Structure 1
Amino acid sequence: MTDWIARAREVAAQLAVDAVERDRANNTPYAEVQLLKDHGLVTLLGPAEHGGGGQTWETAYRVIREIAKADGSIGQLLGYHYLWAWAARLVGTDAQIAAVEELYTKNNFFFGGAVNPRDSDLKITQDGDELVYHGHKSFSTGSKVSDLTVLEGVLEGTDEHIFAIVPSKQPGIVFHDDWDNIGQRLTESGSVTISDVRVPWSDAAGYVDRKFQPLVYNTLNVPTIQLVFTNFYLGIAQGALESALAYTRERTRAWPYGGDDKASATEEWYVLEGYGDLQAKLWAAEALVDRAGAAISPLLHARREELTPEARGEVAVLIAAAKQRIVDTGLEIGTKIFELTGARASATKYGLDRFWRNLRTHSLHDPLPYKRREVGDYALNGRLPEPSWYT
């Protein structure tokens, strides 16, 4: 793991140089994704026999976090890529897993996904031995920087959801330049129109003879990506605190009207107290996030048939707890740092606002009170969350 974290930190150092300017410019991050590819981070989870890193999810989560410290958008892109690169393992057959992992690993391909469950599902029709996808999705993270896109839709006349992995660059997929939110600005999360995208029935993930083969393991998709969120939230919060500390060391002035005057802001009592409180809370959140990563990684890498509903539920509760803790802590850090750095730190050239904007934007993905309820129901009643699109 250590070597991969060091590699991620090298990439993060390059991203940090112009992170503020790139956030403001809001350009498609082709160069940033290429940087991830050039350093082998895109194929970190790929099989070693195909040139991949052969690493675990525990390592992948730590790498996401390191990238997000420098640039929350790129951390999100990488985290979503890891989830979608694992999609074949989550729902596919053994043959599909082998084919997809060889394809993306050998070619260093980057994944995007058009699978937002709050939208109307894409419609799927049959045409002989092919499935045909049609529709519109409001969000397609990774869109124009992706090589492969995960699609999900409902087969006409049924309630069957079918996932498929298709090339992103084709006439039937049109990505729209309409992502213009206050945070996570470089995630290419705009809408997409899908028209006559054809997939052989043999590529319908998890289907054998046109029948889906269910496993409890299929339901790990939500806890896995919820912990992706949690880790890039943690990275954003860590980046915010580190940036604020550096600013205070270099620029913040002591307050000369308090009756306990200090020569440097680094000796100012309220500054020390403020940073001490934030650092303690962040360390606590980090410990919980690491615990969640250590819990889910063995499940993701074990034989898929071995996963029980109880094991899945236990790790989902732990991830829900970690997510609520880092969202609360991260948002507090994103606001409080301005009280500790001083008025001049609010200048746009420093970009300290981007951390709060990034975390605030993505933490609205699904309502945090539902995560608190899941944990409370488990603590009080011993009930595990039922698998859904968001639990």
Structure 2
Amino acid sequence: MGLASAPPRSASPADPAGPARAHWLRVAREVADDLATDAVIREQAGKVPFDEVSRLREAGLLTFLMPAGPQEGAPDRLTAYAVVRDIAAADGAIGQLLGAHYFLSWSVRFFAGPALAARIEERSAAEEWCWGGGFARQEPPLMLTRTTSKGLVLNGRQTYTTGVLVADRLAVRAVREDTGEPLAVVVSPTRRGVAVDGDADPFGQRLAAGGSVEFDDVRVGADDVLGSLSADEDLLSPRACLASPVGRLFSAQLLLGLAEGVLAEAREYSRTGPAARYPAWPAGTPHDPQVQTAYGELTVLTRSASALADQALDALRGGLERGEDITYDESADIAVLVAMAETAAAGAAQESTARALDIIGARSTSARLGFERFWRNARTHTLYEPVTHRLRDVGHYFLNGAHPRFVLPV
């Protein structure tokens, strides 16, 4: 029993994805630099991130991963992971918002038929939709009921951590009242009967545009129902099972971005800020052996988590390239490796964001500097996505060969 043994695909100099990837990574870094200039002020203001979404839209980052054709696993899709990581290093909440957008819009390919997926993606690209919501299980669930006059209608109220305040499309999980089957449904927030409430009040990820959505007899057409979210292997294909690791790898990249972002800002402060403990030394604390050791430990921790995430990305690439030929065992193998990567990234983010405050010392309490936002963002995310569940999946697989449960990220 191996762990995601699919070999990584070697890059070819003639591969058209090479220039495309380089271009979009350059665009992402430019947007990240722009976001970083006022990240502290925007985070403290806590306004709905309409302006930030406009920056992403104007840069083309909302639509670049939409394929020109029906091919699965196009290289540009995987570039989305690096884009999220760069954005998260500058602004964790916007990184989360963008990662959720990519995952939800990509999910169309896993749950809808090819023709429906192509139609939705074409409109999403043409109208530059921003996606929000989520497919995670919540209680009580949204209910999808068939009526004689309106057809299918959606009812219920649920809370979402990401995107609903700025979304052009809401992707939600709803249960068929007559059969109990969970379905992936896409709804416009402007449709009659949809009410979005900005009642979220998190201490971190304040700009992720989370809130509650009320659905009151909202009409749901045939093209609004993507497909089944049932975890039953008789209904869920091995390829559709990859939706879970696809989403969880975005979580890992977000966490790595937070770890790298806080270390970069702390390093800059250590090099240029006041050295209160050793005033005879030059500005900053780069000569303090304890500080050097701490940065060394956090660098090793973050780089190790990054290497594991790279392995998971290579395995996911191989699984996507196999398409309908992938088996349940291969899909489970990839899911376990992604679970390991997410767990390692969570550890790196929590450790780096907390210890960076210790390295800087009492000055890190300054709201003007904004160092604490990294810790609050990382802690908020890991509370919604606790690594305990991922560790249990890894251990159960290692001991008993059990496939991880099909659980979509919050």
Structure 2 length-normalised TM: 0.87
2:53 to 33, 55, 74: 33
- Structure-2 residue corresponding to 1:230: 252
1:172 to 193, 197, 210: 193
Q: Which whole-Å CA distance do the structure 2 matches of 1:334 and 1:205 have between them?
A: 39
Q: SS state of the match for residue 154, structure 1?
A: strand
- Structure-1 residue corresponding to 2:142: 122
1:11 to 25, 31, 34: 31
Q: What is the Cα deviation at residue 381 of structure 1?
A: 3.5
- Structure-2 residue corresponding to 1:323: 342
Describe the shift of the 1:334–1:103 C-alpha distance in structure 2 as closer, same or farther (beyond 3 A): same
Q: Which whole-Å CA distance do the structure 1 matches of 2:201 and 2:147 have between them?
A: 37
Asked if structure 1 preserves the Cα contact closer than 8 Å seen for 2:138 and 2:158, the reply is no
Q: What is the Cα deviation at residue 250 of structure 1?
A: 1.0
- Structure 1 residue 379 and structure 2 residue 398: aligned? yes
Q: Which whole-Å CA distance do the structure 2 matches of 1:71 and 1:190 have between them?
A: 19
Q: What is the Cα deviation at residue 140 of structure 1?
A: 5.4
- Structure 1 residue 195 and structure 2 residue 210: aligned? no
Residues 36-76 of structure 1, C-alpha deviations (whole Å, 9 max, x = no match): 111111112102369xxx64332111100000001011101
Q: SS state of the match for residue 168, structure 1?
A: coil
- Structure-2 residue corresponding to 1:46: 66
2:301 to 281, 293, 301: 281
Runs of 5+ consecutive residues of structure 1 not aligned to the other structure:
none
1:75 to 89, 95, 112: 95
Describe the shift of the 1:349–1:232 C-alpha distance in structure 2 as closer, same or farther (beyond 3 A): same
Q: What is the Cα deviation at residue 181 of structure 1?
A: 0.6
Describe the shift of the 1:6–1:297 C-alpha distance in structure 2 as closer, same or farther (beyond 3 A): same
Asked if structure 1 preserves the Cα contact closer than 8 Å seen for 2:393 and 2:405, the reply is no
Q: Which whole-Å CA distance do the structure 2 matches of 1:388 and 1:60 have between them?
A: 21
1:344 to 363, 366, 390: 363
Q: Which whole-Å CA distance do the structure 2 matches of 1:358 and 1:12 have between them?
A: 17
Q: What is the Cα deviation at residue 194 of structure 1?
A: 0.8
Q: Give the number of equivalent residue pairs.
A: 381
Q: How does 1:220-259 map onto structure 2 within 5 Å?
A: 220-253=242-275, 255-256=277-278
Higher relative contact order by CA 8 Å / sep ≥ 6: 1 or 2? Answer: 2
Pairwise CA RMSD: 2.3
Asked if structure 2 preserves the Cα contact closer than 8 Å seen for 1:43 and 1:105, the reply is yes
Q: What is the Cα deviation at residue 278 of structure 1?
A: 0.8
Asked if structure 1 preserves the Cα contact closer than 8 Å seen for 2:165 and 2:211, the reply is no
Q: Which whole-Å CA distance do the structure 2 matches of 1:374 and 1:165 have between them?
A: 29
Residues 346-365 of structure 1, C-alpha deviations (whole Å, 9 max, x = no match): 21100000001000001112
- Structure-2 residue corresponding to 1:309: 328
Asked if structure 2 preserves the Cα contact closer than 8 Å seen for 1:133 and 1:198, the reply is yes
Q: SS state of the match for residue 227, structure 1?
A: helix
Q: Which whole-Å CA distance do the structure 1 matches of 2:406 and 2:185 have between them?
A: 21
Asked if structure 1 preserves the Cα contact closer than 8 Å seen for 2:136 and 2:407, the reply is no
Q: What is the Cα deviation at residue 22 of structure 1?
A: 0.8
Q: What is the Cα deviation at residue 387 of structure 1?
A: 2.6
Q: SS state of the match for residue 145, structure 1?
A: coil
- Structure-2 residue corresponding to 1:270: 290
Q: Which whole-Å CA distance do the structure 2 matches of 1:295 and 1:205 have between them?
A: 26
Asked if structure 2 preserves the Cα contact closer than 8 Å seen for 1:69 and 1:236, the reply is yes
Describe the shift of the 1:160–1:132 C-alpha distance in structure 2 as closer, same or farther (beyond 3 A): same
Describe the shift of the 1:335–1:59 C-alpha distance in structure 2 as closer, same or farther (beyond 3 A): same
Q: Which whole-Å CA distance do the structure 1 matches of 2:146 and 2:384 have between them?
A: 33
2:124 to 98, 104, 110: 104
Paired AA for residue 385 in structure 1: P
Residues 257-305 of structure 1, C-alpha deviations (whole Å, 9 max, x = no match): 9xxx7445211111111111111111111111121122113423543x2
Q: SS state of the match for residue 157, structure 1?
A: coil
